[in-house]
Each structure stands twice: as structure tokens, then as C-alpha cells.
Amino acid sequence: MTAAQRILRGHVLSFHGDPFAAPVEEVLTSIEDGAIAIEGGQIIAVGEACDIIGQGAAAPSDDHRGKFLMPGFVDTHVHYPQVDIIGAVNTGLADWLERYTFPAEMAFSVEDHARSAARFMLDRLMAGGVTTAAVYSTVHERAADIFFEESAKDDLLMVCGKVCMDRNAPDALLDTPQHAYDASKALIERWHGSGRAHYAVTPRFAITSTAEQLEAIGALWAEYPDLVMQTHLSEQRAEIETVLSLFPDAQDYLSVYERFGLVGPGAVFGHAIHLSQSERQRMQERGAAVAHCPTSNEFLSSGAFNLAATRADAPDLSIGLASDVGGGTSLSMFETMRGAYRAALRNGTQVTPLEMLYLATAGGAKVLGLGKKIGQVAPHRDADIIVLDPKATPDLARLTGVAEALEGILMALIMLGDDRAVSAVYVSGERVRAEAVQ
């Protein structure tokens, strides 16, 4: 081990495998008095504190004993222009898009407005322990620039893309197939791989893109196959009907995206609630992934994503958690995990605290194709680490005080946790400014 620049001490908790697929003891790293050595923004060693702290020249050590050291949370689907419309009362997806979402997105033609929303979103994500998110911008090219500029200020690994739409939205939000291709390509060249920025090709969904636009976007993605491609899929029944009427030759919703080469490794489909077994299996075969958006699905009355049934049909399909703000009601991953718990209950099943934490960390990183960079506290991973305090509030202190085993403490943390339980956030090994996360 080279000389560490910083050592974090606390209870290390991280998944190196999938707890849905293997016994927890085989996939969970849990080191009660553990330490993480960081150098050059990366984790260089993880182990028992006595081993790590004893090695090499003594580095300054941040003492978080009694707290959990975990990988930063990953939000696999969120709309940065929608921070101002959380909780907008609606009668369904189409009504919500028309009355609130599109007007809110139109305001992002003004750069100052976009910058203030980007800053707000990033600070609020970090406050809740989210260090990576897959973000939908608006149709405006500059709004994506601004989001990446603000992310770079904190050296955050953010995945973001300009939304592409050429029908069924107000004129001010429409581009064309050619413009979607050209502007997205310019953004890829400008941003993808610059610092920690990752570009995502982002057709909003099949209702707002013509076949010509989906074709242009499919061609673009084929030129940059390592990128994430993000869109929405089978969120509401009425949406499915509309898609099938717009693409009368399609056998089902997924086949619309298949036809344009938009289902493959790196494709992240938001919602994916009302899918057939065949659609789930085809997604799995092609290496696509699901962003499970529980609070949004509740708020917009979309249905409850059936995690257990999806896993039964397609055990290797990657699934992550997502806030989907502003359809979702909170940027907090704690609230999103609680939503995932409620969604499982609505389907007559349960998810364990360890499964929820996996989905919120390593599972989400895998969905975004970033499993080798983030999502784990392990050597050679970027040092995006959060410190969770199981005694942060009186309620938490009482409940975790009576919990006997680790799972009980983690369940208490998930059920009662919020930003106050995130006592520190490290991004690329640097502790995030306190003012940014309060």
C-alpha cells in the first residue's frame, strides 16, 4: 500500500455481490472496527482498523467510530428541472406532464434558472448521501452544460443527458431528429470523460419522439456504445395504449425501443412496471436495466413495481433505485428505500434492509455500468463514501439502541433515516463542504 492521504475509521459496510442471488454472508463486507485508506481520490485499502492504521506513514484519520462507512448512494433516475414541481397534484402522467412538467422545463431556457436548480439539486442529493445520479436535463443544450459544470465543482460522478423530444410536447421543448443527434453528439464530445462526467443519451420516451428521432438516437448510441441510454418504459397503462397507437406495428412497448437499437447494455429504463414476462426476459437477454422509482409510482398512481416477479422472470436483470423527482416525492434515498419496501408489500412480498441497501449502492452502480468505479467500498474504487449515524436523532437512537443484530439496526436506519443521519460525505476522497450539505 502506498502512503494514504486519509484514513476513515468506522463500521465498513459494502456489497461485493448481489444479496438477491447469494447468501448475505457471501456478498457483504461488514467490518465493525474498520478503516478505509484513500489516496488520490481512490480507495487503496479496506480492512480492520488495527491493520490499516498501523500501515505506512500515519495519515490523518477521520474517526467515525459508531457510524457506518458506506458507498455513496446511487439514484438511477432523476429529473433536475423537476425539483420545483414535487407534489404537483394530477390526474395521471399525461396531465402531470402537460400541466406542470413541461412548463417547468421551459423555464430552463434561462441559464441562471438552470444553474440555480442544478446547484440546489446537487447540494440536496449530497445532503442525503447520493453521490452519483442518472439525471435527465431538459431539451436545452445549455441546461446539460450547466449541470455538468456544477457537478464538476464538487468533482461528482454524474450521468446526465439532454432530453430529446420532437412531438407531443409544447413547441418550445421540441427539437428535430437531426438536432437531437447533433446537439447530443456535441455534448458527448464536450463532456463525456471530462473529469468524472458521463453522458447519457436521453430520448424522453416513445410518446414524445417520432420513429425518425428514435432512429437518429439509436444511430448515435451505436457510435458511442459505452454510454448510458436512459428513457421511460411502461409506467402507466394509458401510456402503453398511447405508445401502441403511435406504433401500431409494435408487438409491445419494449419492441418499439428494440426496433431502434435502444435495448442493450447500458440501457436504463425508468419504471418498467407493467411488463410481460417476455419483455422482462428480453431486457435481461440484451443486458438492459431497470430504474425502480417507488415514490413516483405511488404519487402518480402508476402501480407498484413488482421486484419479486421481475426477478423471478429475469433473475439477472439489473435493478437500481431511483427518486424520479419530480414525479417522485423526495430526493432522499431513505425515503426511496421506504417506498421500495411499501411497493414490495403492495405486491405481497418483502425486501430486507440489506437488499434495499444493495439496490441503493452497488445495485445502482451496476445499472449505470459503473460497478468497477463506484458503489462499493473496495480497493480501486473511487472514494465516494458516506457516513451514516444510527443515533443521529432521538428516534433513531432509541430504536437502534434496542435493535440487537445488524439487520435490525439497518432496518431502523432505513425506516427513520433522513439527511440528519448522513453525518459526512466524501467525494473523490474529499470531505464535502458542510455548507453544501446542510
Q: Using CB distances below 5 to 8 A depending on partner kind, what does residue 295 bind out of ligand GUN, Zn ion, none?
A: none
Tell me, residue by residue from 59 to 98, as one string, x for binding to ligand GUN by CB under 6 A and - for no binding.
--------------------x-------------x---x-
> Of 297 and 318, which has the nearer Cβ to ligand GUN?
297
The interface partner of residue 230, options being Zn ion, ligand GUN, none and the CB cut-off 5 to 8 Å by kind, is none
Contact code string over 95-114 relative to ligand GUN, x by CB under 6 A = --x---x-------------
Question: Residue 106: helix, strand or coil by DSSP?
Answer: helix
Q: Is 327 among the residues that bind ligand GUN (CB under 6 A)?
A: yes
Smallest gap from residue 318 Cβ to ligand GUN (A): 20
With contact defined as beta carbons under 8 Å apart, do 154 and 126 qualify?
Answer: yes
Q: Between residues 10 and 339, which has the closer beta carbon with respect to ligand GUN?
A: 339
Among 56-64, 264-272, 401-409, 424-432, which window interacts with Zn ion (CB under 5 A)? 264-272
Of Zn ion, ligand GUN, none, which one sits near residue 205, judging by CB under 5 to 8 A according to partner kind? ligand GUN
Q: How many CB atoms lie within 10 A of CB 303?
A: 18
384, 426 Cβ separation under 8 angstroms: yes
CB of 95 to ligand GUN, least distance (A): 12
CB closer to Zn ion, 76 vs 361: 76
Kindly tell me which of 343 and 377 has the beta carbon lying closer to ligand GUN. Answer: 343
CA angle (367 as vertex; 290, 259 as ends), nearest 5: 55
Q: Where are the beta strands (DSSP E) in 173-213?
A: 198-203
For cell 459496510, the residue is: 13
Tell me the closest approach of the beta carbon of residue 184 to Zn ion, in angstroms: 18
Distance (Å, whole) CA 388 – CA 392: 8
Question: Distances from the Cα of 140 to the Cαs of 119, 165, 241, 250, 258, in angstroms?
Answer: 17, 11, 29, 30, 26
**Near ligand GUN by CB under 6 A: residue from 150, 154, 175, 235:** 235
168 binds ligand GUN (CB under 6 A): no
* Contact predicate 135/77, CB 8 Å: no
**Cβ 365 to Zn ion shortest distance, Å:** 19
Residue 202 and residue 184: Cα distance in Å, rounded? 9
Residue of 108, 181, 205, 358 interacting with ligand GUN (CB under 6 A): 205
Measure the CA–CA gap between 413 and 421, rounded to whole angstroms. 8
Considering the rule CB under 6 A, would residue 232 count as an interface residue with ligand GUN?
Answer: yes
State whether the Cα torsion 322-356-308-372 is positive or negative: positive
The sign one gets for the Cα dihedral 87, 92, 97, 103 is negative
- Contact flag: residue 339 with ligand GUN (CB under 6 A): no
Closest alpha carbon to 75 in 175, 181, 157, 196? 157
Out of 18, 324, 382, 389, point to the residue binding Zn ion (CB under 5 A): 324
| Nearest approach, Cβ of residue 423 and Zn ion (Å) | 30
| C-alpha dist (Å) from residue 123 to 12, 205, 418 | 24, 28, 15
Q: Does 303 bind ligand GUN (CB under 6 A)?
A: no
Q: Residue 364, interface with ligand GUN (CB under 6 A)?
A: no
Answer yes or no whether residue 270 interacts with Zn ion by CB under 5 A: yes
Contact between 293 and 77 under an 8 Å Cβ cutoff? The reply is: yes
Among 11, 142, 198, 204, binds ligand GUN (CB under 6 A): 204
SS3 content of the chain, % helix, strand, coil (to 5): 45, 20, 35
**Which spans of this chain sit near Zn ion (rule: CB under 5 A)?**
270, 324
**Which spans of this chain sit near ligand GUN (rule: CB under 6 A)?**
79, 93, 97, 101, 204-205, 232, 235, 296, 300, 324, 327
